[in-house]
Amino acid sequence: MSSQPLAERIRPKKLDEVIGQPHLVGENSVLRRVLASGHIPSMILWGPPGVGKTTLATLIAHEAGLPFFTLSAISSGVKEVREVIELAKAHGKAILFIDEIHRFNKSQQDALLGAVERGTITLIGATTENPSFEVNSALLSRSQVYILKALTPEDLIQLIHIALKKDKLLAEKTVEVHETEALLNISGGDARKLLNLLELVINAFPTGQDIVITDDKVMEIAQRRVALYDKGGEQHYDIISAFIKSIRGSDPNAAVYWLARMLAGGEDIKFIARRLVILASEDIGNANPNALLLATSCMQAIQMVGMPEAEIILSQCVVFLATSVKSNSSYVAIKKANELIRMKGDLPVPLHIRNAPTKLMKQQGYGQNYQYAHDYEGNFVNQEFLPADISGVKLYDPGNNTRENELRKQLKNQWGTKYNY
């Protein structure tokens, strides 16, 4: 029996052997064009686990004919990064592959910048997390981002049959695959897990016994069905999506179910709590301001208590948010404001509401004719606060709920027809 796992033994040696990712490795695809050009850019490979990120990095280095160094962000730090950079300098140029680059902190990522800018290293980072959030902007701006898609059931079944033919150890055995559902479900779409599970199942059959793979046999050998949740892969995104949409849709039953799925899969409770804080503002907002207060308190409380009791606090918060009246008016307002800035640019601040800390600024009219709201009845006076080009533009439109209908009435009384409330 080989000491190498099956997934390593049959790792593709050329692009034509890669299963899936036709948008990246198919005929006339982006990576093939990049390789043909001879100019390999630094890149981030983003996708679920077990879809070929490490394989692609290895193949790119092979095709480019460059020295290939690898680091794991879990076990490496700035010291190891600098050591590899020195080795790359000795070779003139090299490719550095960093697995799980999202686990590098800012200082570790910053240590790469100089070498990437100078071309000493071509960086290939692999991540299961959105690089927009997990890779610092300076490094991201110097890299191309290529998205790897989840492998389809057809891809995975094809991989099983390739393994049975291609691997020398398995090819010596007579294996019949009658059913694949259990193999696919337990591996959760991760090709590496699938291949290693396949080998585990095959090796569990006694010598001389016919090897017939069925769902029941796979479940028996695997002993228990692994929860279909992978906090680093596609299920992570699908389940958090179902969770958020259930709360937004005011279904506490579905929301608590998806919460339990995440907790059973080992999801970070702080990640869940952060999403609840965001949702409390994005989907509830001023329709029920207490939602944000409770979500924030929930985040503090779960960090003090920890699991398993934190699940009770999370459940309370989830039920409260799911059953709360909803409004996304504050969310829409900031999106409208961002779009207005994109269209109009940086419009000048009206003179009367500019700060005037110096005599010269006062002479130029800064702060003149500003009306201090607290000097007026009801602590309000109708004056202009927006740049002249967008005067009267309404960004905040209160939602149709009890709390925001009161806000609408208040704004209409204060501003009259200016904002058409």
Residues 238 and 179 in one domain: no
CB 69 within 8 A of CB 88: yes
Residues 112 and 217 in one domain: no
Shortest CA distance to 201 belongs to which of 164, 235, 153, 152? 164
- Residue 100, CA atoms < 13 Å, CB-side half-sphere: 12
Which of residues 94, 112, 147 is at a domain's end?
A: 147
DSSP string, 378-408: GG------S-GGGTT-------SSHHHHHHH
Q: 98-133 burial, b if ≥16 CB within 10 A, otherwise e?
A: bbbbbbbeeebbebbeebbeeebbbbbbbbbbebee
Residues 116 and 42 in one domain: yes
Shortest CA distance to 82 belongs to which of 57, 105, 103, 113? 113
Which of residues 120, 147, 174 is at a domain's end?
A: 147
CATH number at residue 190: 1.10.8
Give domain status of residue 335, yes or no.
no
Mapped onto helix, strand or coil, the DSSP state of residue 104 is coil
Residues 42 and 100 in one domain: yes
CATH number at residue 55: 3.40.50.300
Give domain status of residue 129, yes or no.
yes
pLDDT of residue 225: 41
Give domain status of residue 175, yes or no.
yes
Residues 183 and 135 in one domain: no
Beta strands in 120-226 (DSSP E): 121-127, 144-147, 175-177, 211-213
Residue 223 main-chain phi, psi, to 5 deg: 75, -40
CATH number at residue 243: 1.20.272.10
Which of residues 94, 115, 147 is at a domain's end?
A: 147
Residues 238 and 217 in one domain: no
Per-residue confidence in pLDDT tens, the chain, 421 aa: 556 888 889 999 888 899 999 999 988 898 899 888 888 899 999 988 889 999 999 999 888 888 899 888 777 778 888 888 888 888 888 899 998 888 887 778 888 888 888 888 999 999 988 888 778 888 888 899 999 988 999 999 999 999 999 898 888 888 999 999 888 887 878 898 899 889 989 988 888 788 999 988 888 887 644 444 555 555 667 888 899 999 999 999 999 999 998 888 778 888 899 999 999 999 999 999 999 999 999 999 998 888 888 999 999 999 999 999 999 999 999 999 989 988 888 888 898 888 888 888 888 888 889 999 999 999 999 999 999 899 999 999 999 999 999 999 999 999 988 998 8
CA distance 231 to 74: 16
Respond yes or no on whether the N-terminal peptide bond of residue 357 is cis (omega within 30° of 0): no
Give domain status of residue 304, yes or no.
yes
Give domain status of residue 355, yes or no.
yes
Residues 124 and 39 in one domain: yes
Domain that holds residue 259: 234-323
CATH number at residue 397: 1.10.3710
Residues 27 and 142 in one domain: yes
pLDDT of residue 272: 93
Number of domains into which the chain is organized: 4
Tokens for 102, please give them. Answer: 């999202």
Torsion of CA 184, 186, 187, 193, to 10 degrees: -130
CB 347 within 8 A of CB 281: no
Tokens for 70, please give them. Answer: 């690898």
Residue 126 main-chain phi, psi, to 5 deg: -115, 135
Residues 29 and 134 in one domain: yes
Residues 310 and 267 in one domain: yes
Give domain status of residue 371, yes or no.
yes
Give domain status of residue 383, yes or no.
yes
Residues 307 and 373 in one domain: no
Residues 44 and 64 in one domain: yes
Give domain status of residue 390, yes or no.
yes
